[in-house]
A and B are shown apart, each in its own frame.
Chain A
Amino acid sequence: MKSKVISLTNVILKNSFQNMETAKSANENKKSKSMVVLYVFVFIYLAGIMGVFSNGLIKELMAINQEQMFLGLILLAIALFVLIQSIFSAINILYYSKDNEYILPLPIKPSQIVASKTNVLLITEYFIVAIIGLIPLIIYGILTSASVLYYIAMLIVILAFPIIPTLISSLLVLIIMSFAKFTKNRNRFQLIATIFVLIVVLAASFALNNTTATPEELVEMVTKANGLVEMVRHAFPTLGMAINGLTEANIGKQILNLFLLVLTTGVIYFIYILIGQKLYLKGAVGNLSSGKKTKKKLNEEKAFRNSSLTRTYIGKEFKTLIRNPIFFMQCVLPAILFPVLMIVFSFMGIKQEQGGEIADITGMITDKTSIYLGIGILCAIQFFLMFVYISATAISRDGQNAVFMKYIPVPLMKQIDYKVIPNIVMTTFMNIITIIIVQYLFKLPIIYLLLITIAGIVMGILQSYVSIIVDLKKPKLEWSSEYAVVKQNMNLIWPVVLALLNITILIILTIIVGKSLNSYITVGLIIVLYSILTVIVRNYIKNNVEKLFEKIY
């Protein structure tokens, strides 16, 4: 049993990361080395941000003797992040992955398949946990001059703690998907199921997070050293054990807590596998025969209508994007999800602040603060843009079919313009939602708000064109699963790089001109700058379109 699970885990992992190995010739090798450098750079950049943030927060909390609250917050953040992230990954790895076609006929028990696939899921989750968890915890250790035991405990916690949130999401996916065989339209069911699970998990996380305390309790917590951490201790089942495992002064108690954490995780893993054995095949087997075989009659009146090339081409792009569950979840959903998450978070924030503080801030907005606010909004939008890669996968999503673009009598530049439109539409949508929330909170002057919206949209258009250049230069046309295009694709680092670059430019710009210019002119300047950049980038594509398409054949 064990060896089968380990070798299957190995195979699935290798198979999914194989596509990322680009080293072939010396030239390619050089390129892949520079990609590694880029990855390291982005990792350090993000880690740096986490480091600076942690350093500040821990020092603040130490000043009021509440530093353990930091551990509670970080672990809670890991739990929430892993819960949400692993829903997408779980449904993809367990059910949509094409390797199911080869794995299901093999003499392997469902529990072994579930175990292997969950292991793969966990290993990928650890990458994220390394960024949001490891660095802050190390900084905590340094600032509180912790002993070696803390670092050992930290490793155990980092390895064990993310397992239960992953299992909760996977379990929800397993349960929901086992109903798939009762539905007629499987694709739609899978989509609705994913969104449903997501909502359940989000609602649950908010419910957990929303621990209320009476003012008296609060005063008691704050006055007691490290009393504040009590607020979050019970927000997640194993959170208390993890915090105690890290901070308990008595070594015996510390080891006991760590032991309990590992034991609980182990027991839940075991129960999860048992349930997986019962449920997995119900959803997975039916999933192979996707697509409805029944014949639907044509509506002959409507079926043969002609429309303009622009409409039909863009329509095709949207249809292929929305009807494919993996593309929809990875490319479209984040653009809708992030603003919605923001709405929920901000409503919760308002509820907690009872509107008092926000109203105070609104009253205090001066021209200088509105510059910072405007730039802050644009930076936030840039952050969200990192996760919108409709353009960055526009060519690769077509796979070997991408050659179609080259033999139809439609100019290549026109097709590029059509292909970036879904990306522009989604980024614009995201912009508008973000702006609406900001307006609800801060009540900025309408014209200023309009300027910020335009700036955001122009930056979104630039991102759309830059991303498609990346995809044209290094298209990933040979893929066996859609998942490989949207997840195991090195190109997707470029939208992140571009967003980080834009954030840096925005900050530098504010520092340089923010002092001497007013907020309207500053944002106006950003619009002009990014419009010029967009025109330059689009012209570059236009002038080199034949060359850019060379790799597609």
Chain B
Amino acid sequence: MIKIENVSKSYVKGKKSIDNLNLEIKDGEIFGFLGPNGAGKTTTIKMITGILNIDEGDILIDGKSITKNPLEAKKEFGFVPDNPDMFLKLKGIEYLNFLADIYEIPNAERREKIETLTKKFEIYDNLNSEMQSYSHGMRQKIIICGVLLNNPRNWILDEPMTGLDPKSSHDLKEMMREHSKNGNTVFFSTHVLEVAEKLCDRVGIINRGKLVFVGTFEEMKERFKENKSLEDLFLEITENEE
């Protein structure tokens, strides 16, 4: 469970990039975080993961505060950043072993997990090559594998579908569904409204640092009482707030 309580953040004094954000992502839920460019999606994700300090409020991950107890909180989530160009000079296997060492995954379990995950994503045969030689999609896949090694209860993904081929994208969505079915939390940001509609139990729309809508797609349509397309609804919500 991820709980965001009265969180505000300013980069420039007097101008709030995130303004009093309150949000609760429950166990067993896939939550899509939507919003136009520069709305505050990445800032929010960076605060949840401890990359950015929070000015006001707090964020709890399975009850552990990212501000007061950061190390414990960080053990509770796995994070997939939007840019997969990480540690390109390491071989795939070295990267996964590095993460497995950080999360203290024992030998037997590590071998089984690495084999299962990388075979599922069809990158097992590339594990012994430097990640520099991977395509964008392959880099994305190995980062996702790295996150899943630790089997964290909460998944936080920033634009996870970007660069994935249709099969990998499908596999990832299936894995997200399975993860939430087991009572875990999936929180991800996306620009692709169709993905959000098909996958998410609930969505949150953020615009100019403020949460302008939280709920299911049915609730969204209900609220506007219009039979418009998802795209039109999204545009209406974000434009009305300007």
Contacts and interface: CB of A to CB of B under 8 A. Distances in A.
A323 B53 CA distance: 33
Contacts of B85: 400-401
Interface in B63-91: 71-72, 74-75, 79, 81, 83, 85-87, 89-90
Interface stretch (A269-277, A301-309, A490-498): A301-309
B55 to A, nearest CB: 12
Interface in A33-69: none
A319 B107 contact: no
Contacts of A324: 89
B52 interface: yes
Interface string B89-126: 11001100110111111110011001000000000111
Interface string A315-341: 010011001100000000000000000
Interface residues of A, number: 38
A24 interface: no
B10 to A, nearest CB: 13
Nearest to B110: A304
Contact of B89 (A295, A323, A409): A323
B90 A316 contact: yes
A289 B189 CA distance: 32
A312 B98 contact: yes
Interface residues of B, number: 42
A446 interface: no
Contacts of A312: 97-98, 101-102
A293 B125 CA distance: 11
B1 to A, nearest CB: 18
Given A292-B133, A316-B87, A401-B87, A306 B127 contact: no
B130 interface: yes
A102 interface: no
Contacts of A320: 87, 89-90
Q: Label chain A's interface by main secondary structure.
A: loop
A415 to B, nearest CB: 10
Given A290-B132, A324-B89, A403 B81 contact: yes
A550 interface: yes
Interface stretch (B43-51, B159-167, B190-198, B218-226): B43-51
B102 A409 contact: yes
B125 A295 contact: yes
A553 B49 CA distance: 11
A406 interface: yes
A407 B71 CA distance: 9
B133 A305 contact: no
A2 interface: no
Contacts of B6: none
B61 to A, nearest CB: 11
A13 B205 CA distance: 44
A266 interface: no
A316 B98 contact: yes
B107 A305 contact: yes
Nearest to B73: A409
A328 B213 CA distance: 51
Contacts of B46: 403, 553
A364 interface: no
Nearest to B93: A303
B9 to A, nearest CB: 11
Nearest to A304: B111
Given A298-B128, A401-B87, A553-B46, A409 B75 contact: yes
Given A292-B130, A292-B133, A411-B71, A404 B86 contact: yes
Nearest to A303: B93
Nearest to A320: B89
A316 B79 CA distance: 20
Contacts of A309: 101-102, 104
Interface of A: 290-299, 303-309, 312-313, 316, 319-320, 323-324, 400-401, 403-404, 406-411, 546, 550, 552-553
15 contacts: A295-B126, A295-B128, A303-B97, A304-B93, A305-B97, A305-B107, A306-B107, A309-B101, A312-B102, A319-B89, A404-B86, A407-B79, A409-B71, A409-B75, A553-B46
A-B interface, 5 closest residue pairs, ranked by CB to CB distance from nearest: A291-B133, A409-B74, A304-B111, A312-B101, A291-B132
